[in-house]
């Protein structure tokens, strides 16, 4: 079975939330298949329940897993980039921002890391 899930690079909290929502969506999809298979025995009510499960699965996967997860990730990242030196290091090291830009908003990062003569981030020697 193939499992697709949503991941957010700098926010473990948002990734966990999105994976949980994706798992719920997959469970609802499997339940919908079961209800469609049982439609021959139980009739129209089983088909309607299966359709409801599909609608809920779409809601959990796309709106909660992706949209709400992205919102959580954005808020979490904005907090971490200002307070967590390791996240700031990874962000600068990935080439997404300059050292000066992040050092201006995260003093703990500026205290721990410096750009060496070769243009690489290194820990400050104390």
10-24: per-residue pLDDT in tens? Answer: 999 999 999 999 999
Maximum CA extent, the chain: 74
Output the pTM of the full model: 0.81
Q: Helix 12-37 crosses helix 44-58 at what angle (to 10 degrees)?
A: 160
Q: What is the pLDDT of residues 51-105, one digit of tens each?
A: 999 999 999 999 999 999 999 999 999 999 999 999 999 999 888 888 899 999 9
pLDDT for 72: 95
Structure tokens at 87: 């996240």
Q: How far is CA 28 from CA 21, 32, 52, in A?
A: 11, 6, 9
The SS3 assignment for 122 reads strand
pLDDT for 122: 87
What's the whole-number mean pLDDT along residues 108-112? 91
pLDDT for 95: 83
Pairing verdict, β 113-115 and 121-123: antiparallel
For residue 40, pLDDT beyond 90:
no
pLDDT for 47: 93
Burial bucket for residue 119 (CB in 10 Å: 0-12, 13-18, 19+): exposed
pLDDT for 1: 66
List CB contacts of 28: < 8 A, sequence separation 6 or more.
53, 54, 56, 57, 60
């Amino acid at each position: 079975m193939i499992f697709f899930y949503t991941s957010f690079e700098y926010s473990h909290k948002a990734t966990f939330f999105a994976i949980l929502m994706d798992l719920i969506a997959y469970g609802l999809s499997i339940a919908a298949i079961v209800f469609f298979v049982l439609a021959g025995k139980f009739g129209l009510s089983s088909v309607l329940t299966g359709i409801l499960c599909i609608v809920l699965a779409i809601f959990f996967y796309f709106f909660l897993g992706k949209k709400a997860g992205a919102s959580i990730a954005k808020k979490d990242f904005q907090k971490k980039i200002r307070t967590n030196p390791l996240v700031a290091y990874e962000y600068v090291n990935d080439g997404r921002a300059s050292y000066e830009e992040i050092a201006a908003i995260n003093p703990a990062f500026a205290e721990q890391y410096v750009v060496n003569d070769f243009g690489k981030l290194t820990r400050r020697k104390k």
